[in-house]
Amino acid sequence: MNRMTTTVAVAGASGYAGGEILRLLLGHPRLRSGELEIGALTAGGNAGTTLAEHQPHLLPLADRVLQETTPEALAGHDVVFLGLPHGSSGPMADALSPSTLVIDCGADFRLEDPADWERWYGSDHAGHWPYGLPELPGNREVLTGATRIAVPGCYPTVSILSLLPAVASGLVEPHVTVVAVSGASGAGRAPKANLLAAEVIGSARAYGIGGAHRHTPEIGQALSRVAEVPVAVSFTPVLVPMARGILATCTARTTASAAEARAVYEKAYDDEPFIHLLPDGALPTTGAVVGSNAVQLSVTVDEQAGTFVAVGAIDNLTKGTGGAAVQSMNLAVGFDEVEGLSTVGVAP
Amino acid sequence: MNRMTTTVAVAGASGYAGGEILRLLLGHPRLRSGELEIGALTAGGNAGTTLAEHQPHLLPLADRVLQETTPEALAGHDVVFLGLPHGSSGPMADALSPSTLVIDCGADFRLEDPADWERWYGSDHAGHWPYGLPELPGNREVLTGATRIAVPGCYPTVSILSLLPAVASGLVEPHVTVVAVSGASGAGRAPKANLLAAEVIGSARAYGIGGAHRHTPEIGQALSRVAEVPVAVSFTPVLVPMARGILATCTARTTASAAEARAVYEKAYDDEPFIHLLPDGALPTTGAVVGSNAVQLSVTVDEQAGTFVAVGAIDNLTKGTGGAAVQSMNLAVGFDEVEGLSTVGVAP
Amino acid sequence: MNRMTTTVAVAGASGYAGGEILRLLLGHPRLRSGELEIGALTAGGNAGTTLAEHQPHLLPLADRVLQETTPEALAGHDVVFLGLPHGSSGPMADALSPSTLVIDCGADFRLEDPADWERWYGSDHAGHWPYGLPELPGNREVLTGATRIAVPGCYPTVSILSLLPAVASGLVEPHVTVVAVSGASGAGRAPKANLLAAEVIGSARAYGIGGAHRHTPEIGQALSRVAEVPVAVSFTPVLVPMARGILATCTARTTASAAEARAVYEKAYDDEPFIHLLPDGALPTTGAVVGSNAVQLSVTVDEQAGTFVAVGAIDNLTKGTGGAAVQSMNLAVGFDEVEGLSTVGVAP
Amino acid sequence: MNRMTTTVAVAGASGYAGGEILRLLLGHPRLRSGELEIGALTAGGNAGTTLAEHQPHLLPLADRVLQETTPEALAGHDVVFLGLPHGSSGPMADALSPSTLVIDCGADFRLEDPADWERWYGSDHAGHWPYGLPELPGNREVLTGATRIAVPGCYPTVSILSLLPAVASGLVEPHVTVVAVSGASGAGRAPKANLLAAEVIGSARAYGIGGAHRHTPEIGQALSRVAEVPVAVSFTPVLVPMARGILATCTARTTASAAEARAVYEKAYDDEPFIHLLPDGALPTTGAVVGSNAVQLSVTVDEQAGTFVAVGAIDNLTKGTGGAAVQSMNLAVGFDEVEGLSTVGVAP
C-alpha cells in the first residue's frame, strides 16, 4: 500500500448500505486522483458472486467478486465500512486493528445507555462509538481522527436535524412528535413478504406505532443531550411507495412565533454545507434530494394551534446512511468534509 | 318518472368525485333492481364529450354524452350529486327545488362558523348543511330525510373518526396533531405542473404546513363539538406517490394506558358498519381499503412518551368522498345505509 | 349442505390468486342470496393464522382461520379453487371426487402437448383440462358442466384475446410478437429479493427474453389451434412498477388495412360480455380495468410498416386469474356467466 | 470571458431537459476547474422566477433568476443548449452567431427528409443538423468541432443503439418492431390531465400506436442508413408509472443463432464507453441507469420463433437527452467525450 493511498473495504457490499457507499466512493475525487482505492468487497450469503448481480448500477465494479465477510478479508485496509445485520459489528470490529477506521452503518454502537439498547434490541449492549452526525454541536471535533464511528439511523438523522435548533434553544416544549414517511429501501434487502412490490405499491402503512420502532431512543438521546433536559419523543414511521427518501414532519408545542423559529434555524444552520433551510413558502420534497447528501428543511409555527412544525427531507440511503458514512470518513481521515458528496439531487 | 324509481344526476361527472359516485352507483343493488336510475351527467369544460373519454373504467356508461352543468340539466332528478369547484355549489343548490336531495362534495357548506370560512377560503360564507358523516354522535338522525348534505373533506373524515372517541371521552388533551399522507387523486383532476406524474412519483412532500390547509378548521369543528371544549388541531398533509388513499397518524398527549384507549374505541365503534378497529399488533394500510368504504383503525398509547397514537386508513375517493356521498344518500332517501358500499378492498 | 347451496373451498387462500377469488366471491350475488357459501380456506405455511393477516382487505372473512391444504380439508365442497405452486395441483385433484368441480389457477393442466410441458417445466406432464377461457370459439360448450378446469395464465389471456381474431381470420402472418408489461402481483407472493418494492419501484425490466417465459407455449397453443397452422410466438414480459395489470402490445405483419382489421375484431367480439373494443383513437389503460373482468382492446394497422398492432389491457388478478376462475365456475355450475364479475374498474 | 473558460447558457432551464443539463454541468470537472461556467438561464412563462422554484434539486443554483428566452439573453456564450418547444429552435438558432455551439434538445433538426418532417409535424422543415449520437458509425468525426447539433429523441437513442449492430450487419430482416416503456418525464413538464400522477400511477398505457409517434421516422432514418436498405419500423411507446427511464424491447426476424447475435454486438460495442452489453443471462433494468449516461443492453435469439430480441435500457433524461447533449458538447469543444458523465446509476 502506497502511503498516499487510503484503501477502503466494504462489508455487506451486496446490500443497500454497501451499494450506496460504493456509489459515492466511485464519484469521490480522491478515487480519481488515486489517493483512495476500493479494496475488498465482502458479503454473507452472496459471497462468490459478482457485484453486478446485486448492484447492476455500479458498472465500473461489475466484475468484482464478493469475498466472504471475515476479519481476514477486511484486514489490511485503512478504512472498513460495515453494512451488516444488527449484532454483527461488535465482534467484527474487535477483530480489526484499533488503528483501522471502522465505520458501522448498523445500530450496535449508536446508543449510549445500555438500558435503552436492551429494551429495544433485547441483547447485550456492545458499547457506543462517536456518532457520525457532524452537524451535532461539537461533534466535528470528535469525529476528526476517530477510528470507530457509528453512522446514525436514517430516521434519527432527519428527525434530529429537523428538531435540533428548536429543542436546543428551548423554543419548544421538550415533548416532540415525529411522523416520518420513508421509501422501501430503508427496510433493507432481505426478502420479506410485506416488502414485496405488490404489497407496497399503491399503499401507505404505519409500522411500529406507540414507540415500538428502534430509532425512537436514538432520537431522544440526541435531543435530550442538546436540550439538557429529557425530551419525550413520539415517533411513527410510515412506509410509502417509493424506493428512496424520508420526509419527517416534526411538531412540538410552542409559544414562539414563526419569525422567531425561523431566526433560530437560520442562525443554527447558516454555515452547514449540507443543511438547506428553504425560503418561506417553499417546502421540501424527497425527490429533490435523491442521491444527494443534502437535508432540505422548512420550519414554521401554527400560531392558532400553538404548534411548531419542522419538515425535513433526506435521502435515507445517502445522508441517511452511505453519505453520512463517507462524510464521517472524510472528517476522520482528514479529507475535506464535503468531498464526494453532492447537494445536487437526481430529479424528477 | 316511476314513483318506485329514484333518479340521480351527477354534476362534475368527468372529475374524480363524480367518477367515484358513478362507480358506486353502478354497483348499487337498487340500480340493478330498477329502483335507482342514473340520469343526467354534466360537466363544465368537458360538456359535449362522452364519459368514456374521462372515465374509461365505467364501461356501462361509456357512451353517455356529458351535458353542461346547468340548473336545467339537473332539474327533475330526485338526487343531485355536486362535484364542483369550491364556490359553485351555493348558486346551483339555490336553483334546485328544495325537495331535491342535493349532496355536495365541495367545501361550501361544511363549516358552521362564517369566520372560519372567510379565513380559509377568503369569500362569503354560503351557509352550512347537515354534515355527511353518519358516524358522528346523533348524526344519523340528522341525515335521515335531509334534503341538503355536505360531504366531509377526505382528510377530516379520517382524522375525525381516528380521534373522535379519544377526544369525546377526555382520554387525551384537547390539542391534537394529525400528519396525513395522501394519494394524488385527493388534489383533483385540474392539470397542475406540481401534480404531474414525474413530479409525484419517487417523492414525498408536505404541503400547507402550519395550519395552512383548508381542512384544518373542519377537523377542529367536529372535534370541538364532541369534546365540548375547543380542540387545537395541528394538521399537516403529505402527498405521496399513490393514486388513492389517506393514512392519518393522529397523536395527542395522554396519561391513559393503551388498554384504556382500546376500551374506549371498542365501545365507540363496535356497532359501526364501516369502522374496523384492528386487533392489537395489526396496523392499517391504505391498500386494504382501496375502493372500499371501510375505515381501518389502530390505537395505542406510547406510555414512555405519554402520547396517544391513532392511525386510520381510508380511500379518499370512497369513504373520503363518493362513498360518504352514497352512504348519505342511502340514509336520506331511506335505503339501508350500507347498500352499494363494500368493506372489501381491491388489493394488492 | 342444502341442495340449493353451492359450497366453495379455496386452497392457497393466503396467496394472490386465492385472495382475488375470495374478493370476487364476497361480491357474488349468489353469496348474498345464500346459494353460494364459502367453506374451507386453506394454506401451506400460513395454516393456523387468520385470513386478516394475509388479506386485510377482505374484512368479512377477517377472522377465518386457515386450515392446512389437504384433500381432507377440501373434500365435501362442490367447488374447489386451487391456487397452489406448479406441480401441486395434479395430486390434489386426484384425491378429490371426480364430481367435485376443481378449478386450477396453476399451470399444470394448461398445455396439451407433453413435450411443451417438459421443455418449459422440466417435469412429467400431468395432463390437460378444459381451458378456462370462455371466449375461445366453441369453448363455452366445453366448460358448461365441466368438473375440471385449467385457468389460463395471465399473459396468455390478454395475448390470445388480443390476437385471436387477426390470427383466426388470416389477417396477419402466423408469426406474432407480444411485449407485455405487467404489475408485480403477477409474480406471486413468495418473497424474493428482486421483487422487493425498492427494486421494482422506479424501474422497468424485461425478464425471460428469447422465449424463456413459460407462458410462451400456452399462447402458441391457442393461436395455432384457431389459425389451423403453427403460429410462431415471440413473447417478452416486462415488469413495471405497479401492483396489478397487464398491457400487451401485439404485432404481426399484414397487408390488410386498419379498417379491415377493425371490422374483423368488431365481428368477433361484438357479443362478448367482457371484451370491449375501444373506439378509434382511444387506447386501453390497465388503470381502467383494475378489479374488473374486462378486456379493453384497440387495434390498428401501421400501413407504412405493414404491421398490425393490437393492444390489450386486463387486470392480471381478475380476468387474468380470479375473474376467469369465477367466470368458469359460473359456466360450469350453471350460473349466469357474468355474475359477480364487473366491467367497472376502480380508477384512478 | 477568459479565453480558458467556456461559457454555457441554457434556454428552457425550468423544463426537464434544461434541468438535466444543469444537473450534469454542476458535476462536470471543468466547472470545478473553472474552465466551464454556467451563464444565462432562461425560460418562457417562468422568466422572472428563481431556479429553485422549478428545480429544487439544483441547490447550488437555487437563487439564480430565470431570464426570458431571447437571442439577446443567449448571445455571448460559447455554448447554448436549447430545451424549447418544437418549432422554436430554428428561429433562435438563426439569431445566434454561427460560431456559437448550439445544441438543440428539440426535434426541429433531427430529420433529414422534409417529407418525413411534414408528415409527422405538419409544418415546414427547418433543416437538419449533425445528429448528437456519437455511437453512430463515423459520427464522432462529424460532431468534433460542430457548431450545430441536434440531440436525438429519447426513444430513438435506445431503439437505434439496441438494433444498430443487428441491422447494420444484416443479421435480421429489415423490418423491426420496437415496444418501449417510458417514465413520465419523457412527456415533458407542461401540465396535462392525462399526465397527472393520479392517472399515471397504477396504470400502463400505450399511446401513439400504429406509427403515430413522431419518433418513428427518426428510428427508421438511422437504421436505414446503416442497413443501406429501407428498414420498416413498427414503434409503440408505453407510458408506465415511473419518473425516468426507457426500456426498449426490439425484435426482428432472423435465421441467426443467439451466439452469432452476441458476437456481432460484442464486436460493435466493445470500445464504446457508455454501451454496456450485459453477460448472458443478465437483463437490463432502467433502475440501474437512473442518472447515468449508460446504455445497458441484452441480446438473444428465440430460435424456436426465429426472432432476434434486443432489450436496451437508458435514462431518458440522461443518455436520452441531457447526457447526450453534454456528450456532444464535450466532443464539439474538444473535452474528453466522457467528462461529467457517469456510468454509475442511482439505485435502488
- Burial call D59-81: b when 16+ CB within 10 Å, e when fewer: bebbebebbebeeebbeebbbbb
CB D285 within 8 A of CB D296: yes
Within-domain flag for B239: yes
Which carries the bigger pLDDT value, residue A87 or residue D159?
Answer: D159
Q: Could you read off the pLDDT of A274-332 as tens digits, one per residue?
A: 999 999 999 999 999 999 999 999 999 999 999 999 999 999 999 999 999 999 999 99
**Do D273 and D300 share a domain, yes or no?**
yes
> 383513437: which residue's cell?
C281
> B212: pLDDT confidence band, cut at 50, 70 and 90?
confident
Helix segments in D150-246, DSSP class H:
154-168, 197-200, 216-227
B122: burial class by Cβ within 10 Å (0-12, 13-18, 19+)? exposed
C207 and C255 fall within a common domain: yes
Task: Report pLDDT digits (tens) over A10-29.
Answer: 999 999 999 999 999 999 99
Asked if C251 and D243 come within 8 Å (Cβ–Cβ), the reply is: no
Mean pLDDT (whole number) for A23-36: 97
Residue C2 has pLDDT above 70, yes or no: no
Instruction: Tell me the pLDDT tens digit for each residue of A167-213.
Output: 999 999 999 999 999 999 999 999 999 999 999 999 999 998 998 88
CA–CA dist D232, B4 (Å, integer):
62
Are both D123 and D178 inside the same structural domain?
A: no
- Are B198 and A348 an interchain contact pair (Cβ–Cβ within 8 Å)? yes
pLDDT of residue C65: 98
- Given a cut of 50, whether residue A67 has pLDDT beyond it is yes
Find chain C residues with C-beta within 8 A of A200's C-beta.
197, 201
- D305 lies in the same domain as D188: yes
Whether D255 is covered by a domain: the verdict is: yes
Three-state SS at B179:
strand
CB contact (8 A) between residue A197 and residue C202: no
- Average pLDDT (C203-210) is 94
For C314, the enclosing helix (H) or strand (E) is strand C307-314
C-alpha cell at C86: 406448479
% of residues, chain A, pLDDT over 90: 96
Distance CA D157, CA D313 (A): 10
**pLDDT score of C235:** 98
Residues D274-288: pLDDT tens digits? Answer: 999 999 999 999 999
Q: Domain limits at C110? A: 6-151+320-333
The kind and range of the H/E element at D326 are helix D323-333
- Distance, CA of D130 to chain centre: 14
Q: Report if residue C241 sits inside a domain.
A: yes
pLDDT of residue D285: 98
Q: What gap in Å lies between CA C288 and CA C269, rounded to an integer?
A: 19
How big is chain C, counted in residues?
348
**Selected residues 214-253 of chain A with any CB under 8 Å from a CB in chain B:** 232-234, 236, 238, 240-245, 247, 249, 251, 253
Is residue D99 domain-shared with residue D125, that is, in the same domain?
A: yes
Subunits adjacent to chain A (3 or more Cβ pairs under 8 Å): B, C, D
Spatial distance between the Cα atoms of D110 and D95, rounded to a whole number of angstroms = 19
Do A197 and C199 meet the contact criterion of CB atoms below 8 Å apart?
Answer: yes
Q: Cell match 392480471: residue?
A: C316
DSSP letters spanning A46-71: TTTSBGGGT-TTBGGGTTPBPEE--H
Instruction: Say if B206 is an interface residue toward chain C (CB within 8 Å).
Output: no
D283 to C236: CB separation less than 8 angstroms, yes or no: no
Judged by CB atoms closer than 8 Å, whether chains meet at D203 and C238 is answered as no
**Mean of the per-residue pLDDT values for chain D?**
96
Provide the residue type at A38 as one letter.
Answer: I
Of the candidates C53, C57, C294, the beta carbon closest to that of B59 is on: C294
My answer on whether D38 and D169 are in the same domain is no
User: What average pLDDT does the segment C131-148 reach?
Assistant: 97
Alpha-carbon dihedral angle through residues D116, D119, D120, D123, given to the nearest 10 degrees: 100
Q: B325 and B262 share a domain?
A: no
pLDDT of residue A3: 52
Query: Residue D1: inside a domain, yes or no?
Result: no
User: Are D282 and A52 in contact (CB < 8 Å)?
Assistant: yes
Chosen for mutation from B159, B162, B181, B250 (greatest number of chain A CBs closer than 10 Å) is B181
Domain for residue D49, yes or no? yes
Contact flag C199-A201 (C-beta cutoff 8 Å)? no
Residues of D labelled catalytic:
154
pLDDT single digits (tens) B308-330: 999 999 999 999 999 999 999 99
Q: Is the CB of A344 inside 8 Å of chain D's CB atoms?
A: yes
Tell me, what's the pLDDT at B151? 98
Contact of C198 with A189, CB cutoff 8 Å: yes
Mutation target vs A (from B219, B249, B277; most A CBs, 10 A cutoff): B249
Interchain CB distance below 8 Å, A177 and B177: yes
Contacts of A270 (CB under 8 A, 6+ apart): none
Q: Which chain B residues touch C348 with a CB distance below 8 Å?
A: 16, 19, 185, 243-244
Dist. CA D277–CA B348, nearest whole Å: 35
Mean pLDDT check: name the lowest of B279-288, C108-117, D13-22, D205-214: D205-214
Q: Which of A205, A213, A197 is nearest to A239 (CA)?
A: A205
Inter-chain CB proximity B185 and D198 less than 8 Å: yes
H-state helical runs in chain B: 16-26, 29-32, 71-74, 89-94, 114-121, 139-143, 154-168, 197-200, 216-227, 258-269, 323-333
D221 to chain A nearest CA, in Å?
Answer: 30
CA distances D116 to A110, D107, D207, D215, D268, Å, are 64, 12, 20, 11, 29
Residue D2 has pLDDT above 90, yes or no: no
A301 and A327 part of one domain: no
Cell 470500445 locates to D271
CB A269 within 8 A of CB A201: no
Q: C253: which residues sit within 8 A by CB, 6+ positions away?
A: C172, C173, C175, C306, C307, C308, D175
Q: Which of D30, D59, D296 to mutate to test the interface with A (most CBs of A within 10 A)?
A: D59
User: pLDDT at position D72, please?
Assistant: 97
Indicate whether A172 and A110 sit together in one domain.
no
Residue B82 lies in a domain: yes
| Same domain membership, residue C181 and residue C126 | no
Q: What is the CATH number of the domain that holds A259?
A: 3.30.360.10
* B28 grid coordinates: 348499487
Q: What is the dihedral of CA B142, B144, B147, B151, to 10 degrees?
A: 70
pLDDT at C182 over 70: yes
Q: Is-contact C139 C326, C-beta < 8 A?
A: no
Read off the pLDDT of residues C276-294 as tens digits, 9 standing for 90 and up: 999 999 999 999 999 999 9
Rounded to whole angstroms, the Cα distance separating D151 from D95 reads 19
| Tally of structural domains, chain B | 2
**C267 belongs to a structural domain:** yes
> Please, which residues 183-202 of chain D have a Cβ atom closer than 8 Å to chain C?
198-199, 201-202
pLDDT interval class at D51 (50, 70, 90):
very high
Q: Do residues C320 and B216 lie in contact, with contact meaning Cβ atoms separated by under 8 Å?
A: no
Determine contact, residues B209/A300, Cβ cutoff 8 Å.
Answer: yes
- Residue found by looking up cell 391498500 in the block: B287
* ipTM of the complex in this document: 0.96
Give the HSE-up count for residue D313: Cα atoms under 13 Å, Cβ half-sphere: 30
D296 and D210 fall within a common domain: yes
C45 touching A (Cβ < 8 Å): no
Residues 263-302 of A with CB under 8 A from D: 276, 279, 282, 284-285, 287-292, 294, 296
Q: Which of D313, B206, C198, D244 is nearest to A162 (CA)?
A: B206
Who's near D75: CB < 8 A, 6+ residues apart? Answer: D96, D97, D100
Q: Which pLDDT belongs to residue B4?
A: 82
Catalytic residue among A96, A154, A200, A331: A154
Round the average pLDDT of chain A to a whole number and report it: 96
- Rounded to whole angstroms, how far apart are CA atoms B9 and D160? 52
A:C CB pairs within 8 Å: 72
Predicted pLDDT at A211: 85
CA end-to-end span of chain C:
42
Instruction: Give yes or no: residues B116 and B258 share one domain.
Output: no
Task: Spell out where chain D has E strands.
Answer: 6-11, 36-43, 67-68, 79-82, 101-104, 148-150, 172-182, 205-206, 232-239, 246-254, 275-277, 295-302, 307-314
What rounded mean pLDDT belongs to chain B?
96
What are A47's three cell numbers? Answer: 459471497
pTM of the entire structure?
Answer: 0.97
pLDDT of D3 over the 70 cut: no
Q: Would you call C204 and D240 a contact, using CB atoms and an 8 Å cutoff?
A: yes
Q: What is the CATH number of the domain that holds A62?
A: 3.40.50.720
Determine the average pLDDT of the residues in C298-306. Answer: 97
pLDDT of C3 strictly over 80: no
Q: Is residue D346 part of a domain?
A: no
Element (H, E) at A104: strand A101-104
Tell which residue, B11, B24, B6, B22, has the closest CA to residue B339.
B24
Copy the grid coordinates of residue A246.
424520508
The answer to whether A154 is a known catalytic residue is: yes
In this predicted model, what pLDDT tens digit does every residue of B18-50 receive, in sequence order? 999 999 999 999 999 999 999 999 999 999 999
Residue B208 C-alpha cell reads as: 400547507
